[in-house]
Amino acid sequence: MSIPTQTFLQVRQALLHKQEIALIDVREENIFAQAHPLFAANLSLGRITAQARSRIPRLDTPVVLYDNGEGWAQKAVQKFHQLGYTYVALLEGGLGGWKASGGELFQDVNVPSKAFGELVAAQRHTPS
C-alpha cells in the first residue's frame, strides 16, 4: 500500500488558511518536547489506539503524521487506518524535512497556550 505524503508547504498552507488538519508527532512526549512545529500535537505510537478517537473525533479529518526518521510514523499510519480514519499521510521528510524546508521548531509542550498566557501577562500587566 502506498502511503500519501504532504509537503511542508501543503501543511503550512493548511494551517495558515485555518483548514482542518491534524499534524501529529508520533514520538514519545519527552522527545517531542525537544523540537516540534508550533501547532503539532503529540500522540505517541503507543497511545494512538487508546487516545486518537477522543483527540481527533472526526474520522475524515486529514491526519498528517511524522517522526524524525525512526519509522514510527509509517507504523502509525496502519493504526489510524484500523481506527477508521479516511485520510492519513506522512509529512514528507519528517521532522528533518520540516526544518530543511524552513519550518521553525519549538521546544517544550503546550507552546501556543503558554505564548498566549505570556502575551496576556505582558499586555495586561497581570500579576504573576
Q: What is the pLDDT along the chain (128 residues), one digit of tens a residue?
A: 699 999 999 999 999 999 999 999 999 999 999 999 989 999 999 999 999 999 999 999 999 999 999 999 999 999 999 999 999 999 999 999 999 999 999 886 655 545 545 555 667 777 76
Domain ranges of the chain: 5-124
Do the Cβ atoms of 53 and 81 come closer than 8 Å? no
Check whether domain 5-124 has CATH 3.40.250.10, yes or no? yes
Fill in the amino acid letter for 62.
Answer: P
What is the reported pLDDT for 101?
A: 97
- Cell 495586561 -> residue: 124
What is the reported pLDDT for 115?
A: 54
Do the Cβ atoms of 100 and 37 come closer than 8 Å? no
The full DSSP string for 5-30 is EE-HHHHHHHHHTT---EEEE-S-HH
Q: Burial of 93 by CB count in 10 Å (0-12 exposed, 13-18 middle, 19+ buried)? A: middle
- Cell 503550512 -> residue: 12
CB neighbours (10 Å) of residue 20? 10
What is the reported pLDDT for 107?
A: 87
